[in-house]
Amino acid sequence: MSKWFRVLCVLNEIKQLQKSYKTIRLVSHNLHDVNMANPSTLAGINKTPDISEEESNETKRTPFGTRYLNDPGKVFEHNAWDNMTWTEEQISDAQRKIAENSQTLIDDDKQEVYENDADKFWDEFYSKHQNRFFKDRHWLFKEFPELSTKPLSAESDDSQDAASREQEKTENESSRKQRDEERNQTTSGAEEGTEVACSGDSINTKSFPGSHCTRRYLEVGCGVGNTVFPILQTNNDPDLFVYCCDFSPVAIDLVKSNPDYNLSRCYGFVFDITDPEAELPFPEGSLDMIILIFVLSAVHPDKMQYAITRLASFLKPGGMILLRDYGKYDLAQLRFKPGRCLSENFYVRGDGTRVYFFTQDELKNMFTAAGLMEEQNLIDRRLQVNRGRQITMYRVWIQCKYRKPDKPAT
């Protein structure tokens, strides 16, 4: 009898260990922004909410954007719910928390350090975490289908003939190899400053990286490449060239060390969008897309308008800026403790990196002041669920698309 009792005890312990392991995985998936905003538990900082925003590892699930919580009793059936409506009590509670954590502002001397050494704080982060902290943003193509040349839905994939897809892939690879040789020559020429005309464009200037491509994207605040590499993997347009910049030299070094980094398709460089003296490696009016994913919030509010206006000057007529960033009342803002506030809706994390929480009107005013037309400005109120700890977390993000007007008819 005692022998069977010991066997049952061992089996019960194994079961408990399996349950604990599952709980740890769920907690690590959802808890990063809580640690971000709490200096006492800070293990690193989060420039983007990738880990908490990333989809779960479930193979079959209702896609984001269409997952609505109609029955509160089922809240823990998924990791996240879309388009949540806040109650008046929630709004009042959020306002109270912000009033408390912003009551005392950090003194001017420390604020100056955070501004002047912003790149150093990010360098320290990337030196510590390398490319292990953020997940690749494959969700981008659901939020911004403009970044992909093909529909991403399973229905459109299934409707295509397999032989046609294989033939198209072969043709694209052949075309890409030919263009790679041309672009490598162009890149080499750009370094020497040779004069060439850009293929497929009206730009006629010194050769520059990507000058032989007809479509050019720029990602600002690229980090270690969690956006640029998924774009290159997903968008098979042989005429696409992607630039990526960050003001952290360590981050750019990590981008260039990635096996997928190829000068024939992308170009990474160090750049501070708030520095009037900093030069970009391409001429004005040469970009089709500029991507700002959780990066404008790291810029000092006084410099945001300048950054947007300057970036807009590099768009082609009809080009577009895509933005996704933190919204006011986001969980990360409410979690800040007193003594971390720099100014209204602007905070510093425990490691010295900063974050701003936007309203829709603020973003609209800045982009329209830069001469861009609004195509999208929406607020994403999402309920994230930690099923292991049985807690709920309300996130608020803002997503925008602003287009540069076409040239007036002549």
Q: Are 287 and 258 in contact (CB under 8 A)?
A: no
Please report, in tens digits, the pLDDT of each residue of the chain (410 residues total): 556 556 566 566 665 655 554 444 433 433 334 333 333 332 333 333 333 333 333 333 444 456 666 666 666 666 676 766 778 998 999 999 999 999 999 999 999 999 998 888 878 867 765 554 445 566 687 888 888 764 334 344 444 444 444 444 444 455 445 544 544 444 444 444 333 333 344 454 568 888 889 899 999 998 888 899 999 988 888 999 999 999 888 889 999 999 999 999 999 999 999 999 999 999 999 999 999 999 999 999 999 999 999 999 999 999 999 999 999 999 999 999 999 999 999 999 988 999 999 999 999 999 999 999 999 999 988 877 777 777 777 899 999 999 999 875 44
What is the C-alpha separation between 148 and 181, in angstroms, rounded?
24
Question: Would you tell me the crossing angle of helices 108-116 and 118-129 to the nearest 10 degrees?
Answer: 60
- DSSP H helices, 31-146, are 32-37, 50-53, 88-101, 108-116, 118-129, 140-143
Q: Is the pTM of this model over 0.75?
A: no
Q: Are 295 and 227 in contact (CB under 8 A)?
A: no
Amino acid at 244: C
Amino acid at 366: M
Q: Are 305 and 370 in contact (CB under 8 A)?
A: yes
Q: Is 51 exposed, middle or buried (0-12, 13-18, 19+ CB in 10 A)?
A: middle
What is the C-alpha separation between 194 and 205, in angstroms, rounded?
9
Minimal CA–CA distance to 213: which of 174, 254, 263? 263
Q: How far is CA 315 from CA 133, 227, 318, 321, 410, in A?
A: 31, 19, 8, 8, 20
What is the C-alpha separation between 25 and 116, in angstroms, rounded?
38
Q: Are 218 and 286 in contact (CB under 8 A)?
A: no
Amino acid at 385: V
Q: Are 350 and 337 in contact (CB under 8 A)?
A: no
- Look up tokens 């696409």; give the residue: 240
